[in-house]
Amino acid sequence: MITIKSEREIGLMRESGALVAKVLDMLEMELMPGMTTKQLDSMAEAYIRDHHGVPSFLNYVPKSDPGVTPYPATLCVSINEEVVHGVPSTKRVVREGDIVSVDCGVYMGGYHGDAARTFVLGIIDDKVQELVDVTRECLARGIAMAVEGNRLHDISSAIEDYARSFGFSVIENMVGHGIGSELHEDPAVPNYGRKNTGVKLREGMTLAIEPMIALGRSRKAISRRGGWVAVTEDGKPSAHFEHTIVVRPNEAEILTHTFLDAKRA
């Protein structure tokens, strides 16, 4: 069931979303070659708790798969061919030339915020840089369609059309989602689809829109060794950007938007 949030609820989500964005800002400033993904995770957890939040992902178990091992970390840190759900580790080191996708969720005041960014470490291949830039723009184009009166798959189509125009692949089995008092709510927000299809968007819908786009021909992410982390089928790099937004009449409101986003734009 899709829930329409009140302005009071959106205000609470604005607070959790702002903290998510501040965490990602902090990590972007601190990230450097030689760090372990566990170091990033520890920094994020400390920052969230110091600001009176709770990590949304830590010990998370999806309702669709209650038998899965609870997620053991605050962040998902996915490197290069890892699409999403990379589990932080003291053994996983980020290196010059990597692209590092960091996904963060915060629960505060009874509501969740969720966002992701792909960071570039040093000099990378031009085509991989293009992948990162295009994926960021896919998110912007998807958000631009998240206005009252449009259809859900107008978001999906905008993402897919832009990614494929550069020859990149859309990861089809990983999708965005509704968000609110639960981390994952209805509706699913795929990154591919036909315009003018899907449920009609109404003001107060809150969505986590998150394009995951790959350099190669992969159309799905596959589980590595049966664990949480999902990688591209062909081992080519993948990028990931995400915002939590509110559907509004004229322009979606981004709840996970802060100074570094504005400076970058």
Q: What is the DSSP string of 152-173?
A: HHHHHHHHHHHHHHTTPEE-TT
Q: Which domain holds residue 65?
A: 7-264
Instruction: Quote the percentage of the chain above a pLDDT of 70.
Output: 96
pLDDT tens-digit profile of 162-217? 999 999 999 999 999 999 999 999 999 999 999 999 999 999 999 999 999 999 88
d(CA 182, CA 243): 16
Structure tokens at 31: 């990230």
Question: Would you place residue 262 in the very low, low, confident or very high pLDDT band (cuts 50, 70, 90)?
Answer: very low
The total domain count for the chain is: 1
Beta-bridge mates of residue 214: 169, 238
* Distance of alpha carbon 53 from the chain centroid: 19
Task: Give a yes or no: residue 24 inside a domain.
Answer: yes
Instruction: Quote the percentage of the chain above a pLDDT of 90.
Output: 90
Please say if the pLDDT value at position 261 is more than 80.
no
Mean pLDDT rounded to a whole number for the chain: 95
What pLDDT, on the 0 to 100 scale, is given for residue 192? 98
Task: Give a yes or no: residue 43 inside a domain.
Answer: yes
Task: Give a yes or no: residue 2 inside a domain.
Answer: no
* Distance of alpha carbon 151 from the chain centroid: 21
Mean pLDDT of 59-64: 88
Residue 12's CATH number: 3.90.230.10
Question: Would you place residue 226 in the very low, low, confident or very high pLDDT band (cuts 50, 70, 90)?
Answer: low
Q: Which has more pLDDT, 24 or 257?
A: 24
Task: Give a yes or no: residue 69 inside a domain.
Answer: yes
pLDDT tens-digit profile of 101-119? 999 999 999 999 999 999 9
Please say if the pLDDT value at position 125 is more than 60.
yes
d(CA 188, CA 246): 15
pTM for this predicted structure:
0.95
Task: Give a yes or no: residue 1 inside a domain.
Answer: no
Determine contact, residues 209/142, Cβ cutoff 8 Å: yes
Q: What are phi and psi of 219, to 5 degrees?
A: -115, 0
What pLDDT, on the 0 to 100 scale, is given for residue 263? 46
